[in-house]
Structures are given as structure tokens and as C-alpha cells.
Amino acid sequence: MHWRNNQSNYGAVIIVLHWLSAVTIIGLFILGLWMVELNYYDTWYKQAPAIHKSIGILLFLVIAVRLLWRLTNPRPAPIGNPLEKHLAEWMHRILYLLLFVTMIAGYLISTAEGRAIEVFNWFSVPATFYGHEHQEDIAGEVHEILAWLLILLSSGHALAALKHHFMDHDTTLLRILGFNHDD
């Protein structure tokens, strides 16, 4: 397997970043659903949000690297009819946009009172936009709605890959799993 993408296959870097992102997004979604149900007396009341924020910041960095890699590497030609190819391109664009806006909304929740976000005590991300009336509430609503939309569209993305594999019998799914062909 190659490190970089080529015209027919994804490289190891994008495959690892793709699956790392997917697992992290699902994990953050589940953690977010769980932590909003905690009350003040739960042991995880402060720890769960801190973990969610830290992983969210790291995911932001991973997605930024992934997007940069995507923009600077060839991409394998999409498989499918012209409509499927067009929809796939737009789905990827929408997923990237949703990821960034969801994470920015999370940042705005966490920094609404002007406090930096501590990332596992490794480094801090300063509050740069804060103190606006209802910032935490508005950003919280946006974050939750977009997180649900992200999970919904990601599920559609996964179902499309399964459709390509089981119904169309093409290599779309195999390529992102790292089973290269035509090397």
C-alpha cells in the first residue's frame, strides 16, 4: 500500500485519517449524548465534558490535516454513474463543512465565558470570541442539531458505500478499507 493516493487507490494516510475520524466522530456523538444527561453529583460531570472538548479539538486538527491532504493529493476517480459521482462529491463537501461548523459551535460553547479549552493538559486553546449574550445557548443548539445531521449524513455515506459494495459490486468500499487494486 502506498502512503499517498493515486488515480485508482487511496493511500495509507487518508485511509487512517478517514477511519480515525469516523470512529472519533461516533465516539464523540455517543459521549455527548451521555454527558448531557449527567447531573452535578455524577463523578463524570466535569470529566466527560473535558474529555469531549479535548478530543473535539484534536479531531479539528485531524480533519484540518485530512482536508489539506485531500487538497494536495490526487483522488481516485469516483465510481458510479454521473449522478452518483456528483452526489458523492457534494456529500464529501457537506460532511467537511458540517464537521468544521459543528466543531466551531462546540468551541463557542466552551469559550463563551472567556475561558480557554485545556486539551488533556497538553496545551490550551484560547477563547477568542466570547461574552456575547446567549452565546453558550445558541452555540449549544447549533452544535446539537449539526451533530445529529452529521450522524445522519454519515450514515447515508456509509449506506452508499455498502450499496456500491453489495449491489453494484464495485471497489468503492474496498478502496477506503485499504484493499487496493490495480497497483
In a domain, 7, yes or no: no
Helix axes 135-166, 12-35, angle to 10 degrees: 130
In a domain, 3, yes or no: no
In a domain, 130, yes or no: yes
In a domain, 83, yes or no: yes
In a domain, 162, yes or no: yes
Alpha helices (runs of H) in the chain, residue ranges in sequence order: 12-35, 47-72, 82-110, 135-166, 172-177
- The residue length of the chain stands at 183
Percent of the chain with pLDDT over 90: 89
Q: Output the pTM of the full model.
A: 0.92
Q: What is the DSSP letter of 28?
A: H
Beta-bridge mates of residue 125: 117
pLDDT value of residue 78: 87
- Residues 177-182: what's their mean pLDDT? 76
In a domain, 182, yes or no: no
Averaged pLDDT score across all residues of the chain? 95
Contacts of 149 (CB under 8 A, 6+ apart): 98
pLDDT interval class at 18 (50, 70, 90): very high
Res. 60: pLDDT tops 80 = yes
In a domain, 5, yes or no: no
pLDDT interval class at 68 (50, 70, 90): very high
In a domain, 140, yes or no: yes
Q: What are the tens digits of pLDDT across the range 123-154? A: 999 999 998 999 999 999 999 999 999 999 99
Q: What are the tens digits of pLDDT across the range 88-106? A: 999 999 999 999 999 999 9
Total domains, the chain = 1
Domain of 90, in residue numbers:
12-177
pLDDT value of residue 54: 98
